Amino acid sequence: MSGYHPPVTTPEDASQEARKIPRADRLLAAAERAGWTARLGHAPIMEAVRSSLDELRTAVLAGTPCPPPEEVEARFLDRVAQGVRGTLRRVVNATGVVIHTNLGRAPLSRAAVAAMQEAAGYSNLEFDLPSGDRGDRYGHASASLCRLTGAEAAVVVNNCASAVLLALSALSERLPARREGAAGAVATAGASGRPEVLVSRGQLVEIGGGFRVPDVLRRSGADLVEVGTTNRTYLSDFEGALSPRSRILLSVHRSNFRQEGFVHDATLAELCDLGRRAGVWVVDDVGSGALFPTAPFGLGEEPTVAERVAAGADVVCFSGDKLLGGPQCGVLAGRREAIDLCRRHPLLRALRVDKVTLAGLIATLAHHEKGEALREVPVWRAIAWSPEEVRARAEGWREALAVPGVEVVEVRSAVGGGTLPGVTLPSFALALPPGDADAIAARLRSSDPPVVGRIEGGRVLLDPRTVLPGEDEAVLAAVRSSLPGRHGSS
């Protein structure tokens, strides 16, 4: 125990109190009656009995009075139930943050879930049905990815961080074929030493969860060459930094921060032009990977993957579970020569996408191809919801609750997921009565399913924008039992 807490009882009282601790038999019998022993087996129940009683004994000997046996029994059964539930649980996202990194990013469409369920059994993942020979895992998604992005070739890996690592590793080992005929000023073939990757100082970013561009670069076996300054980098800075060891010009979407004021970046088209002249690769880490223009949704001008491919990047890397709205994965899309090198690199084996994810991605891409993303892909449905629609749902909640002090307020929802920093959508939320907001939020999180809201101005806000269809009752039940004076005995 940390700190010194004067015991409420003397050690003699405490050992007297410890005699009130129920015997293990009593808890075992309770588990038996509740059906847990039949369901889980004897050993896990014994373990739960032992740890429950050990904890209780420690507390009692430290001076805490022993609760009545019925309560000890109830707490023990709660503990068993919690253990069964496990630690990874569904939650209701009422934060309004559409792509919430801590809440599992993109929720999947029904078709994606169905496809993943089907793929969970046997499939022709790497089996060519007509010939009966070995087939290609990566071929299944590539045609659709190429149609959606205009790329010549594509390959899917575990996430965008893997995509960047693979692109840098594979391309820093080889020169592009165009190098042979490169008319550029830098005649460099055959240079020895570690390959170099050139990147603007203003793009050496850290994306959430420890993805730092300089660190990934080092892992790929290349040396980082920082170009330009934090706020202004010109094409001439890249030109001036080219050396015989240069292999890749890297462009990185800043994703989770914005630069304003006296700033300049070399455009991707400029970099691609320089890459062609100098005979080096151009890799673009575009991150969130919008497949269609985002401006009409109030999200500003996110670059689309197709634009980046059209600008001439050899490889464009993006996530499958940000603006694409699919399962966690990463995509490399671009020129065939570059993608082929990535596909042949040994690292691909360690970064490869699994069958269930691949099936979910293919189903999500189909929504995009059919032009039904706004209706079917949950991320896009949430983004496309008009403020009026969100308000109507919040009003419905308010009326159903009929609790004084609960109101509907105007808010802004963030898109999140390390994308679109500072971009928010006009929205509405249910505001719970002012009071101990932290305690109310904690009770909402302890509901089943847990409901996660956000606190603003001392009030808990629940934003319907990110609450999935069919979750309304769960929100209402959680609110009812979480408001002060309404929750149970706890």
Ligand X SMILES: *Cc1c(COP(=O)(O)O)cnc(C)c1O
Could you list the residues that contact ligand X (CB under 6 A)?
Answer: 159-161, 207, 211, 252-253, 255, 285, 287-288, 319, 330, 418
User: Closest-CB residue for ligand X?
Assistant: 287
Nearer to ligand X, 175 or 365 (CB): 365
Smaller CB separation from ligand X, 215 or 436: 215
Nearer to ligand X, 348 or 394 (CB): 348
Q: Which is nearer to ligand X, 52 or 255 (CB)?
A: 255
* Backbone φ and ψ of 424, nearest 5°: -130, 155
- Structure tokens given for 486: 């309404």
The smaller minimum CB distance to ligand X, of residues 233 and 288, is found at: 288
**Which of residues 109 and 203 has its CB atom nearest to ligand X in the complex?**
203
Residue 64: CB atoms within 10 Å: 15
| Inter-CA distances, 471 with 109, 182, 414, Å | 15, 59, 20
Min separation Cβ 169 and ligand X, Å: 15
Of 109 and 251, which has the nearer Cβ to ligand X?
251
Q: What's the Rg (C-alpha) of the chain?
A: 28
> Which spans in 287-386 are helix H?
305-310, 336-344, 347-351, 355-369, 373-376, 378-384
Nearer of residues 211 and 385 to ligand X, judged by Cβ = 211
The answer to whether 362 touches 144, Cβ cutoff 8 Å, is yes
CB 216 → ligand X: shortest distance, Å? 9
- Residue 398 Cα distances to 45, 430, 431, 478, angstroms: 43, 7, 9, 13
Q: Which is nearer to ligand X, 93 or 319 (CB)?
A: 319
Q: Provide, rounded to whole angstroms, the least separation between the CB of residue 269 and ligand X.
A: 19
- Least separation in angstroms between residue 145's CB and ligand X is 15
CB atoms near residue 190 (< 10 Å): 7
Residue 379: Cβ within 10 Å count: 25
- Minimum Å distance from CB 329 to ligand X? 8
The answer to whether residues 228 and 202 touch, using CB atoms and an 8 Å cutoff, is yes
**DSSP letter string, 7-49:** -SS-HHHHHHHHTTSPPHHHHHHHHHHTTHHHHH-HHHHHHHH
Cβ partners under 8 Å of residue 131, min gap 6:
none
Q: How far is the CB of 304 from ligand X (least distance, A)?
A: 14
Q: Considering the complex, what minimum distance in angstroms separates the CB of residue 113 from ligand X?
A: 20
Q: How far is the CB of 79 from ligand X (least distance, A)?
A: 35
The angle subtended at Cα 326 by Cα 325 and Cα 332, nearest 5°, is 100
The nearer residue to ligand X, 73 or 307, going by C-beta atoms, is 307
**C-alpha distances in Å from residue 109, one per residue of 353, 370, 381, 406:** 19, 14, 10, 32
CB 221 within 8 A of CB 194: yes
Shortest approach of ligand X to residue 351 CB, angstroms?
11
The distance of closest approach from Cβ of residue 250 to ligand X in the complex, given in angstroms and rounded to an integer, is 11
> What whole-number distance in Å separates Cα of residue 467 and Cα of residue 430?
12
Please list the helix, strand and coil fractions of the chain in percent, rounded to the nearest 5, in that order: 45, 15, 40
